[in-house]
Amino acid sequence: MPIIKRQRCGRPKKCRRISLPREDRIFEPLGIAPREMKAVTLSLDELEAMRWVDQLKTSHEAGAKAMGISRQTFGNIIGSARTKIADALINRKAIRIEGGSIHKEEDDESSHSGI
């Protein structure tokens, strides 16, 4: 009898608005050979959420509104991002920033902070 894989049938991820440049970045700790280095991947929407709360000092509600998502989703994104950053800093892992379910906003003075 063949094995049938079941796919999760959740809601598709809603695109998040970001004003950061859409470029992949990587930050690596010093003194670890590249082939021995482990990495965590931070999505662009996680970085954008951190920018709103930790750099711009806005509320979760204001950050969620700016990104076009619910406050609950915004809180989940922030929690995930902070867990990944803490793991990377404590365990000397590289931080790779890439991808995510995003929509790049055109440069707009009200949403751009220069990151």
Q: What is the pLDDT of residues 9-44, one digit of tens each?
A: 555 656 665 665 566 788 999 999 988 999 999 998
- Please, are residues 100 and 46 in contact by the beta-carbon 8 Å criterion? yes
Ranges of each domain in the chain: 19-100
Task: Using alpha carbons, list the distances in angstroms from residue 14 to 3, 45, 113.
Answer: 31, 11, 23
According to CATH, the topology of domain 19-100 is Arc Repressor Mutant, subunit A (1.10.10)
Residue appearing with tokens 């950050």: 63
Query: For the CA atoms of 48, 53, 54, 55, what is the dihedral angle to 10 degrees?
Result: 70
Per the structure block, which two tokens stand in for 80?
A: 């995930």
Q: Report whether pLDDT(98) > 60.
A: yes
Residue appearing with tokens 């379910």: 101
C-beta atoms surrounding 18 within 10 Å: 24
- Please, are residues 115 and 54 in contact by the beta-carbon 8 Å criterion? no
**pTM of model > 0.85:** no
Q: What confidence score (pLDDT) does residue 4 get?
A: 58
